Structure 1
């Protein structure tokens, strides 16, 4: 921690807080809670997984449509923090509301999940864009990986607490039902997220911006239209976004559907929670390792490594039969999950014009979110057609292969080179 500045540490601590949402709501407790509610209501396993996939596709589509415009407006002086705050409040409040959905109301769970996810992913758009304000290009890979590393470490604490409460309730040590123990986990998630966001609100400022002008919304539409027309001039940026569209699709789909997939394989909720906890612990040092290795081998080469690991994961998923197989799969994911996301963020951050960072991160968001529509839909449709969730995961291989192929043609930005020149190279 001593190697990082106060703004860098404050920015990274948001990941420490927000990652509780990522593991408890996106990956672990909520999907199991939802699957149990859907099963109790008579919904078939494959269908409930498909409905969750379609829900993810819906909220990602909404945010993908809003992202570029909101990002363009947020480039004005003082607007980035305001937009971040709005989505932060939507996410934390909706996450807490999950605890109050009546038992067995699986459809209402999905509706609340849409708003919680909109808040979390929307806040992350502006959080990611803050990276150009809190560090330099030379330090960007290391700082981005540090954020993901802290996120994995920080998320294990509320996650461990949630697992402990659920297990104690399950064994009747606590006077709680498993359902109410899960509800308590949702409240813990919201509280953890709020508390560790305070340093960002206090110490992170928008340094790169466009001066405010008359009719900012109208001007934002004009700037957005101009960027869309001229985006091909930013060759490296444009190619990277195409590659990112495909490979991050597979990454996000595996993260969001992992517990639902494990449930379909017949693995117990307790086993899944323990595996996911171990995944968070292992992922933390590997995320930081990716950042250090990128300084030696370049970020692009480390992205190759991460994509190849995910291809192995998708193929191996077809052969899963036991909890040991699921452990192996989870550990493989843990080695590259944080690294591939961290280096993608910093790689893109080096390419964008800093004063327009929000606008360009809006495109980063739209490519990432539209990609997140394709993956869950692909898994959902394949799972329903074949009746086999493993084949749904295997179908993601094609996305990783396309992403890897396009990434080969993306130039590696050189240190200290002006960002606009790199982007337009």
Structure 2
């Protein structure tokens, strides 16, 4: 297959357009606000009964994210192994996509009476989203040349921001002006928003599903499909001893992703529960984050071209350290909004750059990129599991989200230290050339 085909590249980027509405509406804006307002005890306290256990709703939210990504991390190796064996990578991407999208649509029925079922649907939507991303990411080295990784990765994230903003604007108009749509029930606009996420996701996903090729079949591996996935991860792990730069990057990526992704999942809950900000203000703030994020993705792609991927990532992590420091002392709404805009600038940029940096560090002679991206995505999912669990357990034990933010600050500092141990990619390429000669 010819690489850098404009039709295939644009179709690949459109999956970001399709699935990013989940990250924005379900994870970051309307769902967390609705969840905080709905997951209350009979007396109105932010505590719920979950299978006989009384638990703070914000802690339950964090734990749900942790468990969902742990399940994904366990599923991914088996799924990628079966996809490798059968050559049906796109089919697995479709399965996870439709699972996540249908779960979002069923959240339309989320009320106080369906709280427990809705928590499971939220978790299932996370599994569907994160599972599909594994196969989506693995296409990048197959459809593009290395010199275009940063640019195409940034284009995908930017399209995701733009598309999700458009849907959020529509959903926000329903929340703010329900009478214009003939809606009289207070909770109905949010529930309709959940349904539109699933519908949008499925409809626009048909573009990449039409253009992207199926994966290559590798039936020579033999053995158990279930075990093959974990064996492939074991091989990648074993290969890291011969690829010290890749190993160092994954260690750094694992640590700073703990903090980055945890902030993404709990920021709105923090604003709603800790600062008591109005729901409309929170949703508008998340929308601004997305708009700033478009510029952020391209800014970091440009920055990486000027000073290199590793140094650009280090700048991003330093900014995250400043964000956590500021968030710990935040008490006013305006302070929260300023920090939120800063989050938008670095959120997409560092994710996009991480994906493209990893693609560059994968050895050129590797034909099975799915195994390497499976390892990358399992690393990311485990980081989210540990990060959100740390955030939740610190809040549970201390009673304050601010202490959880301090824990995230320490995580980012450690990530910066690990990134500083990695030389630039130019040095990495020079060493590869020496080995070849």
Same fold per superposition (TM over 0.5): yes
Q: Which runs of 5+ in 1 are unaligned?
A: none
Matched, 1:370 2:382: yes
Measure, in 1, the Cα distance between the counterparts of 2:22 and 2:435. 33
Measure, in 2, the Cα distance between the counterparts of 1:179 and 1:267. 18
Measure, in 1, the Cα distance between the counterparts of 2:217 and 2:311. 32
Give 2:46's aligned residue.
44
Deviation at 1:103, TM superposition (A): 3.9
Matched, 1:137 2:146: yes
Give 2:97's aligned residue.
88
Count of equivalent residues: 421
Measure, in 1, the Cα distance between the counterparts of 2:419 and 2:261. 18
Contact 1:133 1:207 in 2 (8 A): no
- Counterparts in 2 of 1:322 and 1:225: CA distance versus 1, 3 Å: closer
Contact 1:350 1:419 in 2 (8 A): no
Give 2:293's aligned residue.
283
Judge which range, 38-47 or 106-115, deviates more: 38-47
**2:125 pairs with one of 105, 116, 139:** 116
Deviation at 1:174, TM superposition (A): 3.1
Contact 2:324 2:409 in 1 (8 A): yes
- Counterparts in 2 of 1:200 and 1:422: CA distance versus 1, 3 Å: farther
Measure, in 1, the Cα distance between the counterparts of 2:237 and 2:231. 10
Give 1:26's aligned residue.
27
Measure, in 1, the Cα distance between the counterparts of 2:348 and 2:247. 23
CA RMSD of aligned residues (A): 2.6
Matched, 1:322 2:332: yes
- Counterparts in 2 of 1:297 and 1:181: CA distance versus 1, 3 Å: same
Measure, in 2, the Cα distance between the counterparts of 1:33 and 1:184. 12
Measure, in 2, the Cα distance between the counterparts of 1:350 and 1:68. 22
Local SS of the residue matching 2:270: helix
Deviation at 1:175, TM superposition (A): 2.3
Contact 2:183 2:189 in 1 (8 A): no
Measure, in 1, the Cα distance between the counterparts of 2:421 and 2:16. 31
- Counterparts in 2 of 1:277 and 1:422: CA distance versus 1, 3 Å: farther
Q: Which runs of 5+ in 2 are unaligned?
A: 48-54
Give 2:187's aligned residue.
179
Matched, 1:9 2:17: no
Measure, in 1, the Cα distance between the counterparts of 2:87 and 2:268. 40
Q: TM-score normalised to the size of structure 2?
A: 0.89
**1:249 pairs with one of 243, 246, 258:** 258
Measure, in 2, the Cα distance between the counterparts of 1:252 and 1:258. 10
Deviation at 1:123, TM superposition (A): 0.2
Give 2:415's aligned residue.
403
Contact 1:317 1:394 in 2 (8 A): no
Give 1:359's aligned residue.
371
Deviation at 1:383, TM superposition (A): 1.9
Measure, in 2, the Cα distance between the counterparts of 1:206 and 1:136. 19
Deviation at 1:384, TM superposition (A): 2.6
**2:308 pairs with one of 292, 298, 306:** 298
Contact 1:146 1:291 in 2 (8 A): no
Judge which range, 348-357 or 187-196, deviates more: 348-357
Q: TM-score normalised to the size of structure 1?
A: 0.92
- Counterparts in 2 of 1:366 and 1:43: CA distance versus 1, 3 Å: farther
Q: Deviations over 1:296-327 (max 9, x none)?
A: 21111110111111111101012211210111
Measure, in 2, the Cα distance between the counterparts of 1:423 and 1:125. 31
